[in-house]
A and B are shown apart, each in its own frame.
Chain A
């Protein structure tokens, strides 16, 4: 059952990723990106990461993607005739060659390492979010606070950038 679900999520996420960069209309690209995010969330379920699954659906598909769609609707873009770069054939060939080589190398490499302290049984005892919470608020408390400050800076930066210029500013600029 798990390999079947893995194959489904993997194939659909790759196809919708390709559609995201290949489709002409920006709104269609956004919807393909939504399909990609939801299927990547499905891969997280297969990897015992229920909390990340929820965060992926809520934050990525729910908040970030809505932000993208809002901006698309706000700008009212017309579909471009030439939506690809002029030399896209060369870049596509080089990209596919590099990507194929990368996949070949990855499939041949044995991945191993020292096992950590969180086997599946320990996580299942109290659930994934409990395990993440205990770890995040003890060992990773400082990075957590730094991310909070980063988000505050991003909010202030976005507001300052997107603010409609006042009349005095407009006169000075033009």
Chain B
């Protein structure tokens, strides 16, 4: 019982958790849609990368929610890997932005067409 006292905010202690799993999945679906829209409609490359971060966060909410409701640790561990990969993606993406900006003085995704055939 001492362990229970350490985490007062714990969802599964005391009153039963009344938030259904589908509510978490719905929040994550909405956030994923927002991120997808951001990738499609923004013209600034940095904001596009931020929208990708929103999508990764939506996936993380999903993983952790299923990990809690299905009582398995695997979801949280995969979420940790997702965070690590997001860090690598941000580093490489921002380095690419700096290189492009040095050459063309623009971060507009529509003007980056050097690799287009």
Contact = CB atoms under 8 A, between A and B. Distances in A.
Contacts of A115: 70-72
B90 A67 contact: yes
B72 A161 contact: no
A135 B78 CA distance: 11
B68 A158 contact: no
Chain A interface size range: 35 or more
Contacts, number: 257
Interface residues of B, number: 80
Nearest to A45: B9
Interface string B49-88: 1110110010011001111111111101101110111111
B112 interface: no
A80 to B, nearest CB: 7
Q: Which secondary structure dominates chain A's binding surface? A: helix
Contact of A60 (B35, B66, B86): B86
Given A30-B50, A68-B94, A150 B61 contact: no
Interface of B: 3-4, 6-7, 9-13, 15, 17-19, 21-27, 29-31, 33-38, 40-44, 46-47, 49-51, 53-54, 57, 60-61, 64-74, 76-77, 79-81, 83-92, 94-99, 101, 107-108, 110
